[in-house]
Amino acid sequence: MSAYRFSLSISKDEYLAHYSGAIHSVIVTANDGRRIQFPAIKLRPFVTHTGIVGEFVLEVDDARGASTLKRL
């Protein structure tokens, strides 16, 4: 299993583009410099009235390709 830690600061308006179909995935730079891409829908549980702000970790099961996103 691989884990990628990163910070996000996305305004509510930027994230709403996901609902219109304009954005399907998110690309972030992990704290170690690696770029990772994951489905934007994984951010849905973390949306507040101001957007999405915080430190996150994406855990990826290398064998199955499944991933879990958690806020730290």
CATH 2.40.50 fits 2-71, yes or no: yes
pLDDT (tens digit per residue) in 34-67:
999 998 889 889 988 889 999 999 999 888 778 8
pLDDT in tens, 26-40: 899 999 999 999 988
pTM of the model: 0.83
- Other beta carbons within 10 Å of 25: 11
Q: What is the DSSP string of 1-61?
A: -EEEEEEEEEEHHHHHHHHTTS--EEEEE-TTS-EEEEEGGGGGGG-BTTEEEEEEEEEE-
C-alpha pair distances (Å), 41 with each of 10, 16, 17, 32, 38: 14, 11, 11, 24, 9
**Domain-by-domain residue ranges, the chain?**
2-71
